Amino acid sequence: MTREVILYIGVSLDGYIAKEDDDLQWLEEVEGEGDNGYTAMYDTIDTTIMGKRTYDYVMEHAVDFPYPDKKNYVFTTSEQGSTDYVDFVNVNVVAFTKKLKEQQGAKIWMVGGSGILDAFVKENLIDEYIITVTPHILGSGIPLFKENNPQINLELVNTKRYGQFVELHYKAKKC
Ligand SMILES: NC(=O)c1ccc[n+]([C@@H]2O[C@H](COP(=O)([O-])OP(=O)(O)OC[C@H]3O[C@@H](n4cnc5c(N)ncnc54)[C@H](OP(=O)(O)O)[C@@H]3O)[C@@H](O)[C@H]2O)c1
C-alpha cells in the first residue's frame, strides 16, 4: 500500500482559492461549524507539501507555524535550506512525491496553492480531493485548477455540510 496524497482546500463556488492579492478574508469570514472538518483531516496526515506563495501567506498571517508536528516541504526556486519547521525543496515535485509515497507513513497533505498543485493534477497524483466550497462567487482570483489538465475521473465518497461550507470528498479512480 502506498501513502495517499490528499488535496484539502477551500474554494469559492466559482473555483478560486484566493483573490489575486492573496486576500483570504472572504474564506475566513464564512460561518462554519466546529473546525469544519480540519482536525479529522489533519489527524490522517504526517507530511505537508506547499508552494512558496502559500508558505509566505501562512508565515505572514499565522502567529505560530500551524503544522509543527508534521514533516513540511515548501517547494521553491528562491530559497534553500530549512527552518525549525520546513524544508525548502527545489527538485522535481512529481518524482519527489512518488518517492515519498513509497516510504512508510501516513497520508500526505497537498496544501496548495494552485501553482504547485498543477504538477500533481497533470500527473494524476492526488488520491483524494477534499474540497470545501464557500458561499461566494468571487469573479476573479487564483483558480484552483489551471488549464489543459488530463481528464480525471473521481468517485464521490462523501459530502458534509459545516454551516455555510459544503465539503465534497472524492477519490480518484485509478485504472
Ligand atoms: N483557499 C485555500 O484553502 C488555499 C490553500 C492554499 C493556498 N491558498 C492561497 O493561494 C495563494 C497561493 O497562490 P499560488 O497558487 O499562486 O502559489 P503556490 O502554489 O502556493 O506557490 C507558487 C510558488 O511555489 C513555488 N513552486 C511551485 N511549483 C514549483 C515546483 N514545481 N518546483 C519548485 N518550486 C515550485 C514557486 O516559488 P518560487 O517563486 O519561490 O520559485 C512558485 O512561485 C496564496 O494566497 C495562498 O494563501 C489558498
- What is the per-residue pLDDT across 74-98, written as a single tens digit (0 to 9) for each? 999 999 999 999 999 999 999 999 9
pLDDT band (50, 70, 90) for residue 3: very high
The answer to whether residue 160 scores a pLDDT higher than 80 is yes
- Give dist(CA 155, CA 72) in Å, integer: 28
Architecture of domain 5-172 in CATH? Answer: 3-Layer(aba) Sandwich (3.40)
pLDDT band (50, 70, 90) for residue 123: very high
pLDDT digits (tens, 9 = 90+) for 145-157: 999 999 999 999 9
* Cβ of residue 52 lying under 6 Å from some atom of ligand 1: yes
Pocket test for ligand 1, best of 6, 72, 116 (most atoms within 8 A of CB): 116
The answer to whether residue 134 scores a pLDDT higher than 80 is yes
The answer to whether residue 1 scores a pLDDT higher than 90 is no
**Amino acid in position 91:** V
* Cβ of residue 138 lying under 6 Å from some atom of ligand 1: no
pLDDT digits (tens, 9 = 90+) for 49-79: 999 999 999 999 999 999 999 999 999 999 9
- Residue nearest to ligand 1 atom 41, measured at CA: 77
Q: Is the dihedral of CA 141, 112, 59, 24 positive or negative?
A: positive
For residue 106, the model assigns a pLDDT of 98
* Cβ of residue 141 lying under 6 Å from some atom of ligand 1: no
The answer to whether residue 23 scores a pLDDT higher than 90 is yes
Distance, C-alpha 147 to centroid of its chain: 18
pLDDT band (50, 70, 90) for residue 174: confident
For residue 94, the model assigns a pLDDT of 98
For residue 102, the model assigns a pLDDT of 96
- Give dist(CA 123, CA 149) in Å, integer: 9
Q: Per the confidence metrics, is the pTM higher than 0.85?
A: yes
* Mean residue pLDDT across the chain: 97
For residue 129, the model assigns a pLDDT of 98
Q: Is the dihedral of CA 138, 140, 146, 151 positive or negative?
A: positive
Extents of the domains making up the chain: 5-172
